[in-house]
Chain A
């Protein structure tokens, strides 16, 4: 097959950007925005502690200093989401509606395991235009033992004892691996009480706020037990 010489040369010559051939590719509109922030959850026998910072960002700007990332879906479980705030709201609305319908039809609130699976199916239903959400579903199981289900954007999930999502994830999760599981620890003392774990969580958020620009302002904490829900708010760095 005959190929002209200039066509052949194009394959070998590196294209040097000169004034003649620079084209600025305009940024295509994206339906996704990362409103960032960090959420984490830890489950212990009898309780589950969920925490999320309250900063909503867009690039280098702060949109809000008190936007909640936590949503209590049933008496026993809470959804914590990092990622796109609009998608969090849409997902939360869907789950609230669907769970109320569940309650009407079954005359009992959905268990945490049921909600976990429902969330996974809903996320996968949008496999080809995903919810830009990185979720943690934290709740008490049938024996009132706290667990955390961690998700990716399209619904793959796993039951864990603790989880972190969001812009501060890498900063925080390694600390929790060390503190809560005793990885790479010489003296493997694992905290058992609620107070110890709350201390660790607050420290984690303070640390994340130091290094991650998208985490800060306040940390909102929900503690779910069979007796009810307790809510705390602690301040974080505002810069």
Chain B
């Protein structure tokens, strides 16, 4: 395929009906380090693997609180993510100011998607190079959404994006039927197990390179601190989804 003929800008279609610039932007998401989300009837958990550019550097944060009831995990260009994060935060604050209640999750994701689409239909702009996993709770229930540079968005029971995310998705496919009724602790352990499938052989999970954020119907978004992370990672040794089935 003579891609280079049709991939200069967003306003050129390929004969196969593709917008290559948008597809390339989705590649940027796949290059980011893995982040995943999973939900039960009561809670949503976001887990991500933090990348350390070098021994001297800190770890890049991947999860951001948008409001008490909503948070995002990012994969891709962090700078683009920051722009979307700021936009989402501002929208939530304005909504709260006007209506004195939390911004419905689906609506905000739709707004982000609209913003993203706008960048795919102009000669002078480029798509956002970041995918978001949006975890949120509103009167409609518990939600997990994924947004793409293309401007599409999807709702999920659980999803993983970023590099080697297929391994985590395979884990989810086997066990997602358990998530609905899982407790918060079980959900966190499932999330960490899924991430464990996606790390390289010489890497290991520790409280420095893993980030876990939790959200619940009566629980405002919080990150697990270093000690809690250590405890959960230790529990992974003895955790198996099979034991959850036996309990039920």
Contact = CB atoms under 8 A, between A and B. Distances in A.
Nearest to A89: B100
A104 B89 contact: yes
B39 to A, nearest CB: 24
Interface string B75-117: 0000000000000010001001100100000000000000000
Contacts of B97: 93, 97
Contacts of B100: 93
Nearest to B100: A93
Interface residues of A, number: 5
Give the interface SS of chain B, mostly helix, strand, loop or mixed. Answer: helix
A101 interface: yes
A229 interface: no
Nearest to B68: A100
Interface in A92-107: 93, 97, 100-101, 104
Contact size class for B? under 10
Contacts of B65: 104
A100 B65 CA distance: 11
Nearest to B86: A104
A132 B217 CA distance: 38
Contacts of A104: 65, 89
A5 B97 CA distance: 65
A97 B91 CA distance: 11
Interface string A63-100: 00000000000000000000000000000010001001
Nearest to A94: B97
Contacts of A93: 97, 100
A135 to B, nearest CB: 20
Interface string A106-147: 000000000000000000000000000000000000000000
B181 to A, nearest CB: 34
Nearest to B92: A100
Contacts of A100: 93
Interface in B22-49: none
A6 B89 CA distance: 72
A97 B96 contact: yes
Contacts of B89: 101, 104
10 contacts: A93-B97, A93-B100, A97-B93, A97-B96, A97-B97, A100-B93, A101-B89, A101-B93, A104-B65, A104-B89
Interface of B: 65, 89, 93, 96-97, 100
Those 7 A-B pairs whose CB atoms lie nearest each other, nearest first: A97-B97, A97-B93, A104-B89, A93-B97, A100-B93, A101-B93, A97-B96
Interface of A: 93, 97, 100-101, 104
Given A97-B96, A97-B97, A104-B65, 7 more contacts: A93-B97, A93-B100, A97-B93, A100-B93, A101-B89, A101-B93, A104-B89
